[in-house]
Structure 1
């Protein structure tokens, strides 16, 4: 498919100007002149450099990858027809039906952005992290430091790459074995629903070859419960052990999972979570200031 780069640049600028900063999770101040997202805010949310976003908007960066276009489409909260238009303007075919979708509907992003004090991560059907807020980053570490392919919970549990190395020590109330089994059960269900998804097939084949624990769980005929609700103790390098309720909310019609962490009001764990929320806001503000 031939690239129509000028159209891509025009769409990118127009849709950045259209998106309300509040809907993207940013605090709007009186002195703000830009009607939509600033370029550095788009870059931060999409996990790209400001310079690269600038070159895309000026038409100087050619042939952005499907991964980059997908990240921009999610950040800009595009509806599916607009997402497909952005892919085509970059000379790419839009994601096909029958494959795992990484599209996060705008309404879900707006809802999650308004719950900024709660760590929220949105995962695709194969447990790839596709959206998160600053409090999630403060709790689990910044996902943007990982290669996009490593932003996957299954890789964190069973792989031997960057995702596994970055995962904080976590103790599950249900037991770590039960938690791992539930994640594999979710992946088996996804594989049965998306048999034509190349990336999902590659993930399963790779982990079956490199992880005995994964291969054993994948081969078992016993159906484990899917991952829904749990209580976890996370060993955080700054606040120490923090006990949180982990809830997994399914997004109807989108095949996404919204993972949230909360603590009982008035508890020391709630205080620690509040501290991490402030840390996340400060980090995001510092990043925006540095990028100007």
Structure 2
């Protein structure tokens, strides 16, 4: 019964979310105003086949990660998200775990910033959502590299140009941020698993962790070496969503500069030529 209710609820929510409300372009003729399965699967990062099995009741035990991704893609309210967890037979994350919920107001804000690279991160610096221009600017991260701390210590790195001093300051700030987050969410298993892996696999992270490194993310000018439009120097600001413990990273260009022109060019190119990370 729960699986049937879950499938019906997913179909209902999918039918009532328009492509425009989900930040997509509604191209071509559509039989219904809601999202197609292909669109929802793309937004949630799951296969169309798995989404079909969930809606038809043939898949009965989605993971918490899948449920959270679907709630985010469907832009559910906090009550709707809790209901989705209940239908999936799972307990919604509590106050002791790192929040991953993005409220509809933040979704709407990103929808209006189409010409600005913007991404949303949780308190452990896992990327939850990025608009197309941010992906075009920074790359389409997957797997462990979706976490900015992992990426800077053990992963593929980024396109941001760093000096040894700026990279050292960034890493110290990330370690200090993770320590504060771990203190706020002592029961979050995924967070402490991440920290354990970083301490084991990165000697530099372990040194900064045990030494009690301090630091905070601050506004900065960053140069991004883009493979198609060249170097772009942008202002980077990190905003915190009160009450949700989310970080919104925003890149902006000074008007009338070559950097603004390159960013405008990138918004036209989009992700068409980005077939992989560079």
Deviation of 1:40 after TM superposition, in Å, equals 1.9
Aligned partner of residue 170 in structure 1, secondary structure: coil
For 1:97 and 1:214, the matched residues in 2 are separated by 27
Deviation of 1:154 after TM superposition, in Å, equals 0.7
On the 8 A contact 1:172/1:230 being kept in 2, the answer is no
Runs of 4+ in 1 over 4 A off after TM superposition: 28-33, 281-284
Give 1:185's match in structure 2, choosing from 176, 179, 182: 176
Give 1:156's match in structure 2, choosing from 151, 156, 178: 151
On the 8 A contact 2:16/2:34 being kept in 1, the answer is yes
Gaps of 5+ in 1: 285-292
Give 1:266's match in structure 2, choosing from 245, 256, 259: 256
Give 1:234's match in structure 2, choosing from 204, 221, 224: 224
Asked if residue 219 in structure 1 is aligned to residue 210 in structure 2, the reply is yes
After superposition, the C-alpha distances for 1:241-263 in whole angstroms (9 at most, x for unaligned) are: 11111110100110000101111
Deviation of 1:274 after TM superposition, in Å, equals 1.6
Deviation of 1:230 after TM superposition, in Å, equals 1.4
Q: CA RMSD in A?
A: 2.3
For 2:63 and 2:90, the matched residues in 1 are separated by 8
Deviation of 1:38 after TM superposition, in Å, equals 2.4
Moved more, 184-193 or 267-276: 267-276
Q: Given the two structures, how large is their TM-score scaled by the length of structure 1? A: 0.86
For 1:172 and 1:181, the matched residues in 2 are separated by 14
Aligned partner of residue 171 in structure 1, secondary structure: coil
After superposition, the C-alpha distances for 1:122-180 in whole angstroms (9 at most, x for unaligned) are: 0000000011111111112123xx12x44100100112xxxx12633533797121111
For 2:198 and 2:27, the matched residues in 1 are separated by 47
For 1:33 and 1:117, the matched residues in 2 are separated by 30
Matches within 5 A, 1:70-85: 70-85=68-83
Compared CA separation, residues 173 and 272, structure 1 to 2 (3 A)? farther
Aligned positions, number: 275
